A and B are shown apart, each in its own frame.
Chain A
Amino acid sequence: MSYGEVEAVRGIDLEVAPGEVFAFLGPNGAGKTTTVEILEGYRPRSDGEATVLGTDPGSAGREWRGRIGIVLQQSKMHPELSVRETLEMFAGYYSAPLSVADTITQVGLEEKAGTRVARLSGGQQRRLDVGVALIGDPELLFLDEPTTGFDPSARRRFWGMIEGLRELGKTIFLTTHYMEEAQRLADRVAIIVAGRIAAEGSPDELAGADGTAATIRFRTPDGELAGLPDGIDPVFDEAGFATFSAERPVEALHRLTGWALEREVDLQGLEVRRPSLEDVYLQLIARAEEQR
């Protein structure tokens, strides 16, 4: 799949099951939008195969476009139309649209139904965007970086709305560079780095991809670590905390806390961490950059 001289993406092998929320992650310029635009039918591809709802998006027609809904990375509706009118306009394009009133409820814009787009906040405009993508009752919904530029509370409200769509059984193809968003919403995640799929799986699987070891971290008041049980061999991190990784964290904790009680040592800031999706993601990006 190449454009001009630069091959944008290659060797992408993905499958998304019906009813699944699939998150496609990667840094800017990794080929996310290129891939999505090929799947949405906006871009031709130079090679390879793509099948979306049983059809090649490169040659798909009106009937196929009626079965998908698209939220672009950036788009604005007519500022002169109200929320209700915007949805009425788009509803007219589909053979069996949802009701405008139900769609307004679905995206949580009941209070703003009669308000012109020009007077909606950024988050409200984005919800309307999703409403427009839903109005044709699509089987498959593409969301390209839907929460970029949102404040944290708007992002959380938006996520709640997407969870409502999952319950309706929609298949959702989500592009994002917010790990938290993928972890919260996605059944399955693929990470694209420099035009290739670097990892794929459920968020939990991916988070455990580098072994299931947990990191345990604590500090003692005077840095006293004498006589720690066998197998607990901490190093100090930049913040002065002792950290060690444990294959069996329950057992390791039991021994650590046993040691602390026996010696009456306070374990300050004790925490047990599993690697998050973000840790895995950052490692993959760093590795790809080293290879370049």
Chain B
Amino acid sequence: MPTVQLVLHEFRFDQKTFWRNPASVFFTVLLPVMFLLIFATIFGNDTLEGLGGIETTTYYVPAIVTLAVVSATMQSLAISLTVDRENGLLKRTRGTPLPSWVFIAGRVGNSIVVSVLSLIVVSIIGWAVYGVDIPFERAPAVLVTLVVGAASFCCLGFAITAAIPSEDAAAPITNVALLPLYFLSGVFIPETEIPSGVLHFADLFPIRHFFEAFFTAWDPLTTGAGFEWGNLVIVAAWGVAGLAIAVRTFRWEPRD
């Protein structure tokens, strides 16, 4: 099979396994949508004075897009790679002529496609249900943020598998790493409600920067193209660090 075709072949089966797994569909795609509906229902009528008086729903759309992309990349990869590693499937695949990079490309491609789909779904629900404008004029900034973030969080997903000893530990460990950061970074709670010291702490981690880049693109008060290069560089730096760790520590063989 020519290489491009082989990548597509791998991607096609990754899509099948993803969409047929109820847990992956629920936690990656449906849960972020549920969060958007819940937050918008609870805080929907408020405006955020600290952010120039924009509506809370306008704030939550980029926040939930951030959550959805991190779920589809880092969390989903960390869990599925650990399960496949412990089941011997990674080892088995390694014993075939399939090049490792094609295997990785299939998984990363799958995560990026799911991220794009989630972004579209959340944007459309935000627009149709809550009247949050889709920032078409800043589409390049949205896309660049998505690509940089998705790629970086994929690398972090591969990196964190080294810290996950068994398939049962995969979801708890990724949740311990991510859930507090969602709260501290203003993804679940508007940042105007969070003390500045906490936000500074959150600034050490990539989720806050990834969210800020999406927020600028969605913020109706943004003038210009809406690129947050400073935030994106930090997200990318985390991605590169994750890649370096993954290259050194990623295992194809079961732990036991």
Residue B96 is within 8 A (CB to CB) of chain A in the complex = yes
The contact string, 1 if C-beta is below 8 Å from chain A, for chain B 1-23, is 10000100110010011001100
Interface size on B, residues (CB 8 A): 23
Complex: A130 Cα to B89 Cα, angstroms = 14
Residue on A with the closest CB to B94?
A42
Task: Give B82-100 as 1s and 0s: 1 = Cβ < 8 Å from A's Cβ atoms.
Answer: 0010011101101111110
Question: How many A-B contacts if CB must be within 8 Å?
Answer: 63
Bound form: Cα–Cα A137–B212 in Å? 53
Assess the B95–A80 pair: CB atoms within 8 A. Answer: no
* Residue B133 lies at the interface, judged by CB distance under 8 Å to chain A: no
Q: Is there contact, CB below 8 Å, between B89 and A65? A: no
Does any Cβ of B come within 8 Å of A90's Cβ?
yes
CB-contact partner of B17 in A65, A81, A92, under 8 A: A81
Highest count of chain A CB atoms <10 Å: which of B13, B91, B94, B96: B96
Instruction: Say whether chain A's binding surface is mostly helix, strand, loop, or mixed.
Output: loop
Report A-chain residues with C-beta under 8 Å of the C-beta of B20: 80-81
Is A157 an interface residue when CB atoms closer than 8 A count as contact?
Answer: no
Q: Are B88 and A93 neighbours in the complex by a CB distance under 8 Å?
A: no
**Pair B89/A75 contact, Cβ less than 8 Å:** yes
CB contact between A63 and one of B95, B97, B98 (< 8 Å): that residue: B97
- Give the residue of A75, A94, A136 whose beta carbon is less than 8 angstroms from that of B92: A75
A84: min CB distance to chain B, Å: 12
Which residues of A sit under 8 angstroms from B92, Cβ to Cβ? Answer: 70, 72, 75, 132
Q: Which residues of B contact A249 (CB under 8 A)?
A: none
CA distance A62 to B97 in the complex (A): 5
Measured CB to CB, the nearest residue on chain B to A68 is B95
Is A85's beta carbon under 8 Å from chain B? Answer: yes
Q: Among the listed A62, A65, A72, A81, which residue makes an inter-chain contact with B16, where contact means beta carbons less than 8 Å apart? A: A81
Number of interface residues of A (CB under 8 A): 26
Does B228 belong to the interface (CB within 8 Å)?
no
Among B9, B13, B84, max chain A CB count under 10 A is at B13
Which B residue's beta carbon lies closest to that of A62?
Answer: B97
Asked if B6 and A42 sit within 8 Å, CB to CB, the answer is no
B226-255 CB contact bits vs A (8 Å, 1 = yes)? 000000000000000000000000000110
Contact residue among A75, A78, A90 (Cβ-Cβ distance under 8 Å from B96): A90
Cα distance A90–B88 in the bound complex, in angstroms: 15
Whether A75 lies near B88 (C-beta < 8 A) is: yes
1/0 per position for A91-119, CB-CB distance to B under 8 A? 01111000000000000000000000000
A291 to B99, CA, bound (A): 46
| Inter-chain contact B91/A62, CB cutoff 8 Å | no
CB atoms of B96 and A85 under 8 A apart: no
Residue of A nearest to B80 (CB): A78
A77–B95 contact, CB under 8 A?
no
| A19 lies within 8 A of chain B by Cβ | no
Complex interface bits, B52-84 against A, C-beta within 8 A gives 1, otherwise 0: 000000000000000000000000000000001
Measured in the bound complex, the distance between the Cα atoms of B17 and A71 in whole Å is 22
Residue of A nearest to B92 (CB): A75
A292 to B42, CA, bound (A): 73
A90 partner residues in chain B, CB cutoff 8 A:
96
Docked Cα-Cα span, A66 to B21, in Å, equals 30
Report A35-65 CB contacts with B as 1/0, cut-off 8 Å.
0000011100000000000000000001101
Once bound together, how far apart are the Cα atoms of A95 and B6, in whole Å? 11
A136–B16 CB distance below 8 A:
no
Closest A residue by C-beta to B99: A62
CA distance A41 to B98 in the complex (A): 14
A62 to B1, CA, bound (A): 13
Chain A residues with Cβ below 8 Å from B21 are 80
**Which of chain A's residues have a CB closer than 8 A to the CB of B88?**
72, 74-76
Interface centre among B6, B10, B91, B95 (most CB of A within 10 A): B95
B191 CB to closest chain A CB (Å) equals 39
- Tell me the bound Cα distance from A92 to B12 in angstroms: 11
* A235 in the interface (beta carbon within 8 A): no
B104 to chain A, nearest CB (A): 14
Cα-based distance from A89 to B92 in the complex (angstroms): 13
What is the chain B residue whose CB lies nearest that of A94? B97
When distances are taken between beta carbons in the complex, the residues of chain A under 8 Å from B1 are 92
Q: Are B96 and A76 in contact, with the CB atoms below 8 A?
A: no
20 residue pairs A–B, Cβ–Cβ below 8 Å = A41-B95, A68-B95, A72-B91, A72-B92, A72-B95, A75-B88, A75-B89, A76-B89, A78-B13, A78-B17, A80-B16, A81-B13, A81-B17, A90-B96, A92-B1, A93-B6, A94-B96, A94-B97, A132-B92, A136-B96
Measuring CB to CB, which residues of chain B are less than 8 angstroms from any residue of chain A? 1, 6, 9-10, 13, 16-17, 20-21, 84, 87-89, 91-92, 94-99, 253-254
In the complex, given contacts A62-B99, A89-B13, what are 11 additional A-B residue pairs having Cβ atoms less than 8 angstroms apart? A41-B95, A42-B94, A74-B88, A75-B91, A76-B88, A80-B20, A80-B21, A81-B20, A85-B16, A92-B6, A92-B9
Kindly list the 10 A-B residue pairs having the minimum CB-CB distance in the complex, ordered from nearest.
A75-B88, A80-B20, A76-B87, A62-B97, A93-B98, A70-B95, A92-B9, A66-B97, A80-B17, A93-B96
